[in-house]
Amino acid sequence: MRIEEDIQGVSSSRKHLVFAYYITGHGFGHATRVVEVVRHLILAGHDVHVVTGAPDFVFTSEIQSPRLFIRKVLLDCGAVQADALTVDCLASLEKYSETAVKPRATILATEVEWLNSIKADLVVSDVVPVACRAAADAGIRSVCVTNFSWDFIYAEYVMAAGLHHRSIVWQIAEDYSHCEFLIRLPGYCPMPAFRDVIDVPLVVRRLHKSRLEVRKELGIADDVKLVILNFGGQPSGWKLKEEFLPSGWLCLVCGASDSQDLPPNFIKLAKDAYTPDLIAASDCMLGKIGYGTVSEALAYELPFVFVRRDYFNEEPFLRNMLEYYQGGVEMIRRDLLTGHWKPYLERSISLKPCYEGGINGGEVAAHIIQETALGKSYASDKLSGARRLRDAIILGYQLQRAPGRDIAIPDWYATAENELGISKAAAPNVVNLSHEDFEILHGDIQGLPDTVSFLQHLTELDTGYFSDKKSEKRRECKAAAGLFNWEEEIFVARAPGRLDVMGGIADYSGSLVLQMPIREACHVAVQRVHPSKHRLWKHAQARQNGKGQGSTPVLQIVSYGSELSNRAPTFDMDLSDFMDGEQPISYEKAKKFFARDPAQKWAAYIAGTILVLMTELGVRFEESISVLVSSSVPEGKGVSSSASVEVASMSAIAAAHGLNISPRDLALLCQKVENHIVGAPCGVMDQMTSACGEANKLLAMICQPAEIIGLVEIPSHIRFWGIDSGIRHSVGGADYGSVRIGTFMGLKMIKSNASEVLSHSLQCPNGFNPEGLENDGVELLGNEASLDYLCNLSPHRYEALYAKMLPESIIGEEFVKKYANHNDSITVIDQKRTYGVTAPTRHPVYENFRVKAFKALLTSTASVEQLTALGELLYQCHYSYSACGLGSDGTDRLVQLVQEMQHRLLSKSENGTLFGAKITGGGSGGTVCVIGRNCLQSSQEIFEIQKRYKAATGYLPFIFEGSSPGAGKFGYLRIRCRLSHKPS
């Protein structure tokens, strides 16, 4: 039901009414909108008792009336925030339990008695659950006025913090179900607990002064650009600097502490300043999204530069409304903290907000409330919303966890740093992607901004307009523009890189590993083309003409980013080159084929997927294939750029040819590409994470060979970062391979030793056992003599029986002479080389134990002890890598900087927020994984480490933050471009 906006106000009632108006303790936005409703009720001659924890001035600055009564009671806590941008899910649920669940019986008795004492005619709630139940117990009708409800908000908190809090959500829904109906505000979330709904316009506070009056009082000329910094009632908490603002700009700061020093171009506002007047006098607002900020920005047509919050489920709905009316610009958190404000502010003032809806929601709501108290019935008789809460829990969980929504770079703003993390990119003039440009025949973009950008780029290729003006990129784009027949279907797949949180090089020893898919991903577009219609490059056409065979299937690939890695941007081959008579060529022959030209060896990662499909699944490719590869996963940084390319390529090729391959099987096939065609001796965890991972979860897998045991939720108070050392990592490097060989040598020695001891004990006469072995010991020796995976050996057995018998190192020739081989099909022993044995063997035995402990700790109670223990496990892993010879100066320096930050704060009796770090993946450079609290201070400390590393080395590290879905969760897109303007 919608109430029209043109009602004639709230008429003076023939009956004096008493209202009890309950306000949630979550932020000022609820209190400020309640003020506008209460003002109209009091103007109509009624008494209003406001039950709130907000300061009195919020109400008394607008309402000076003896009919206003303020009762300072807080009956719900809302969402507990660690800082202005970080919600603490577990703390929110625990505090709600303390304030509203445990004392529930006392609260209900107290409120029923109080409601009867004031002779309330109606209870209004924004949006306190227990108020509805108390009203029902007192025999009084109740209504709610809100744009969200706590059952929806807390639903995901339960998912993140543990299902033992689930009863809280059901209790809240049951309380709301006692409410007669909901007066629903614009920008609303799903709220299934309410029996009926009435929609009203925006509730917005009125203006007291004009723009000119406000600026005159502040001494600011009308031509000065003014931004208001508004992060609610919480202090900003970070140091503001003069250079944050463009020249000629001033900033009004809300919520600054009395002791906070501000630069001359920042103006501290009084705590009781009337913000609607200040908002209307500004040129734009910078802050976090909430109902109050969004509604007043829209009402007064003020562009809003906003920064996202984690675990704030109200936000996407308000954001959609803000952007629908062209009033929003998203700023990434990194740029907020580092002061890179200029492009956002300058873009904001170019917007033309166009909200034309009503802003008299306070008046409309007051009219409905009055008429309800007088006996009018608005509600229909529907089922209790508690029965529909299951849908809200699912939606609440999926909403925040929607792929790509994790502090992503805005669509309009290119990556803030280039590949080396040095130069800032200017905000491009991007044409917004429209479904008029292409038709999605299958699949879902899933809100991923990088996918939107990739599809937009395809439309640029179709039109021949390339937004990137660099000559290298234009050459790549021109090659790509000739790949596809734009009137035919194109298949698009996406696969992310991964951050090795725990497990690393222990994967090939059978360890449990924990891996997180990162935000950066590879996109691959594939099209099948009949050979007679395939537009071949000139040299490919000449090659076919030379063979005199007519049109035969050809593979043509364009891969972006060639100028960053000194390789060719294109590759082509006749698909017949993959055949040896009636059978596919061997992997070894393919490996030599791609190794002929170092500038084109990269094509093995992509074309190799075709050969693997031919060999392993018997697929035959009778049509030409065009492939475009675009990856934002940086190469050589230890975040599995190669796995993302392989998984995305095979996913797209499989989709284009109607092959239904499970994500797990696809990952195993991609590992064959890497091991046998590329020639890199990696385990399978990289491909598994890229294929099977999910956003903001750790993929838990036992690598024996690849058993996925589940997805581990990252607790809401914990965050992982990757910091690139700038030292190029290569999984194909000699160090990684030699450590792997040493590990398999150690496994062979342990098995051999166990066999000898077991054989000797069994051969003793009369059952005499010289080793003193009981039956259990014999059984253990039997298991160890036939170990398939080193990680199945427990640390205490390793220390007790095998640690002292292993040599520190051994020459390859000596090992082969005694043990024949090391039983690893991926690596080859160089008999002239000396291999470390003790450290490479010890590492996976203990790493498997560390990973299991880490996984268990993630589900334990949130505490400093928990974070400290998790961080300690990362440190231990890092130094174990170093003992194997897989450390590097850069990664060691980054780990040391994390330690210095952690211990420096502890020595000052401050709460540190970073707790541990380790080298990742194959080691010998690459990226360091850091664990810390999910809060602003952690981000600031990460940025400080980034700066200190640059000061020491001259290299500004790339920071990996955020997560995105694996290829299996993404699926594939089948699209057809609608523009079809052939490039000239």
Let me know if 356 is exposed, middle or buried by CB neighbors in 10 A (0-12, 13-18, 19+): exposed
Assign residue 375 a region (left: φ > 0; alpha: ψ between -120 and 50; beta: otherwise).
Answer: left
Percent of the chain with pLDDT over 70: 86
State yes or no: cis peptide before 705, omega within 30 of 0.
Answer: yes
3-class DSSP assignment, residue 555? strand
- Using alpha carbons, select from 57, 92, 61 the residue that is nearest to residue 72: 57
Q: Which residues contact 567 (CB under 8 A, 6 or more apart)?
A: 559, 599, 600, 601, 602
Beta partners for residue 268, in sequence order: 253
Residue 254 in tokens? 């809300």
Q: Which of 75-84, 414-423, 741-750 has the highest mean pLDDT?
A: 741-750
Residue 644 belongs to what H/E stretch? Answer: helix 641-656
Give the integer Cα–Cα distance in Å for 776 and 389: 53
The catalytic residue positions are 686
* pTM for this prediction: 0.79
Q: What is residue 809's predicted lDDT score, i.e. its pLDDT? A: 96
Is residue 408 over pLDDT 70? Answer: no
Question: How many other C-beta atoms can be found within 10 angstroms of the C-beta atom of residue 139?
Answer: 9
- Confirm if 298 and 325 have CB atoms less than 8 A apart: yes
Rounded to whole angstroms, what are the CA distances from 351 to 318, 762, 914? 18, 84, 39
Q: Which residues contact 487 (CB under 8 A, 6 or more apart)?
A: 976, 980
More confident residue, 844 or 83: 844
pLDDT category at 7 given cuts 50, 70, 90 is low
Give the integer Cα–Cα distance in Å for 432 and 467: 12
Give the integer Cα–Cα distance in Å for 206 and 216: 20
- Using alpha carbons, select from 601, 677, 682 the residue that is nearest to residue 640: 682
- pLDDT tens digits, one per residue of 643-698: 999 999 999 999 999 999 999 999 999 999 999 999 887 778 899 999 999 999 99
Is residue 814 over pLDDT 80? Answer: yes
Percent of the chain with pLDDT over 90: 60
Give the integer Cα–Cα distance in Å for 185 and 174: 21
For the residues of 743-776, what is the DSSP string, one character each? Answer: HHHHHHHHHHHHHHHHHHHHHSGGG--TT---HH
- Using alpha carbons, select from 936, 949, 853, 854 the residue that is nearest to residue 898: 949
- Using alpha carbons, select from 147, 1, 149 the residue that is nearest to residue 79: 149
Residue 402 in tokens? 């929607």
Q: What is residue 429's predicted lDDT score, i.e. its pLDDT? A: 30
End-to-end CA distance of the chain: 54
| Stretch 268-279: mean pLDDT | 91
Give the integer Cα–Cα distance in Å for 929 and 362: 50
Average pLDDT, whole number, for the chain?
86
- Confirm if 26 and 79 have CB atoms less than 8 A apart: yes
Let me know if 532 is exposed, middle or buried by CB neighbors in 10 A (0-12, 13-18, 19+): exposed
Q: Which residue has the tokens 């050969």?
A: 611
pLDDT category at 236 given cuts 50, 70, 90 is low
Is residue 875 over pLDDT 90? Answer: yes
Residue 61 in tokens? 């600055």
Residue 287 belongs to what H/E stretch? Answer: strand 284-288
Q: What is the DSSP letter of 508?
A: G
- Burial track 632-641 (b if 16+ CB lie within 10 A, e otherwise): bbbbbbbbbb
Please tell me the least confidently modeled range out of 301-305, 564-568, 604-608. 564-568
Give the integer Cα–Cα distance in Å for 312 and 354: 26
Q: Which of 97-106, 137-146, 680-689 has the highest mean pLDDT?
A: 137-146
Is residue 141 over pLDDT 60? Answer: yes
Beta partners for residue 197, in sequence order: 182
CA atoms within 13 A on the CB side of 501: 31
Q: Which residue has the tokens 């040299």?
A: 539
Rounded to whole angstroms, what are the CA distances from 294 to 276, 304, 725, 730? 12, 8, 40, 48
- pLDDT tens digits, one per residue of 917-934: 999 988 888 999 999 998
Is residue 17 over pLDDT 80? Answer: yes
Is residue 346 over pLDDT 70? Answer: yes
Residue 91 in tokens? 């703390």
At 349, give phi and psi (nearest 5°). -75, -5
- Confirm if 653 and 977 have CB atoms less than 8 A apart: no
- Using alpha carbons, select from 872, 918, 860 the residue that is nearest to residue 720: 918
| Stretch 890-915: mean pLDDT | 85
Residue 827 in tokens? 């690596």
- Using alpha carbons, select from 979, 966, 970, 983 the residue that is nearest to residue 492: 970
Give the integer Cα–Cα distance in Å for 664 and 708: 8
